[in-house]
Amino acid sequence: MILTVTLNTALDVTHRVPRMLPHTSHRVTGVTERAGGKGLNVARVLGALGEEVTATGFAGGPTGQTVRELLAGAPGVTDALVPCAGTTRRTLAVVDESTGDTTQFNEPGPLISAAEWAAFLERYAELLTGARAVALCGSLPPGVPVGAYAALVRAARAAGLPVLLDTSGEALRRGVAARPDIIKPNAAELAELTGARDPFPATRDARRRGAQAVVTSLGPAGLLAATPDGTWEAAPPRPLRGNPTGAGDSAVAGLLSALTRGLDWPERLVRAVALSAATVHAPTAGDFDPRTYEEIAPQIRAVPVPAP
């Protein structure tokens, strides 16, 4: 199975309005709720791809119970969330139906005690024994040590498992030093890590800091991957209008599923870009549209980038 870690799980609530205007009230035309947080999004996509997935992290309070109930409906996903005393956060996305643009509001998450963190570490060590790969995703809730992901990377590597890290800020900077197999920042997160705005030298810098491979999300321009086997770019065959929420998480799912199936780097990028694009095109935020995926995957090519 593939193990996904979401330390700061969330109940993702999406409101749709005809038009988003500041300083006024809005009539909501539709509401959806999903079990969320980056790692749970990854788990849901992996399950839809036919992978066996176990999802862990924290869940607490009435919101956490709702997250667990919603997660129970995700095919292929096993709930291994660890209880906490605080209440799981909510995120609110407001979709402007006139433009397709989304405005996001993210709560910080529950305060995790030292005892709860110790209980999670014990559960994580148990789960590693049955895993084929690990994804560490998203923000850290209050109370979790800023070096948490570095510790989790080291534990996965000690167990002989490939590990992908998808986070930002100080958690990413410390996590990279633990030498994860893959990091997947977006362009802004990569620039914050390295100080370089150009993603080409920034990916090389991130590898020097400890990441074995760096896959950078470039938005509509697709993905840039710097790996031990070479550097490639891959992009959708055409622009797709829609909601980008969860597109990066779908890319992570594509990378992980391709990795565990023994595909090479160009094939991993094709799968990741196709899933990401199919998520933008899906009618519900965070889902992926299978028909779009099947249509555009054969049209995507990973193009080698010459070394400078």
Rounded to whole angstroms, how far apart are CA atoms 116 and 118?
5
Counts of helices then strands in the chain (DSSP H, E): 10, 15
Report the relative pairing of strands 30-36 and 2-6 from DSSP bridges.
Answer: unpaired
- At 298, give phi and psi (nearest 5°): -70, -15
Q: Which residue has the tokens 């992978």?
A: 51
Could you tell me if 277 and 298 are in contact, meaning their C-beta atoms sit under 8 angstroms apart?
no
CA 160 to chain CA mean position, Å: 22
Q: Which residue numbers are catalytic?
A: 249
DSSP β-ladder status, 102-106 and 223-227 = unpaired
- 32 membership: H or E segment, kind and range: strand 30-36
Chain centre to alpha carbon of residue 280: 14
Determine the Cα–Cα distance for residues 285 and 293; give it in Å rounded to an integer: 15
Q: How many CB atoms lie within 10 A of CB 201?
A: 13
Tokens of 3: 């193990």
User: Which among 79, 90, 150, 142 has a CA at the least distance from the CA of 121?
Assistant: 150
